[in-house]
Amino acid sequence: MSDDIKQIEAVLQTYFDGLYEGDAGKLAAAFHETADLRSVAADGSLAVLPRGTWLEGVKSRPSAKAQGLERKDWVVSIDRSGPTTAFAKVQCQIPPRYFTDYLSLAKVGGAWKVVAKTFHTDTR
C-alpha cells in the first residue's frame, strides 16, 4: 500500500509541476486520456471540459512560473479505497485564482492516473 501512496503522490507532484510550469506534457502524463474536468459555472450549470481541450488551453496561456507568480500547492488528503482506486483532495493557486481540486485516480495498466477532476475556484 505504501508504494501505491508514493506513486499517487508522484502523480500529484507531476500535476502540480505541470500546472505551475504550464507544461501540458506533464499534465497529460498525470491524466488518463479519457479524463475530463468539471466545475459548476456561474449560471449554476455543470461545465465539463475534455482533457484535450484543457491541455490546449494550458499551451496557449502564460504559465504561473513565467509570470513570476507565487507557487503554493499541497495535498490535503489521499484516500486509497482499494488496489486500483483512490481519491485526492489538493489545493493550488494561479493568482488571482485559488483552486480546490478533487481528483479521482485509477491504477490502469499498473500506473496511477487522474481519471476525473472536479474543482472549485475562488478569485481574490
Could you report the per-residue pLDDT of 12-36, keeping only the tens digit for each? 999 999 999 999 999 999 999 999 9
Grid cell, residue 104, equals 479521482
Domain boundaries, the chain: 2-123
Residue numbers of the chain with a pLDDT score lower than 70: 1
Architecture of domain 2-123: Roll (3.10)
CA distance 42 to 59: 25
111-123: strand order across its sheet: 46-50, 31-40, 111-123, 97-108, 85-94, 74-80
Instruction: Assess contact for 117 and 37: CB atoms under 8 A.
Output: yes
> What per-residue confidence (pLDDT) applies to 97?
94
Count CA atoms closer than 13 A to 11's CA, side-chain side: 26
> What per-residue confidence (pLDDT) applies to 1?
58
> What per-residue confidence (pLDDT) applies to 2?
82
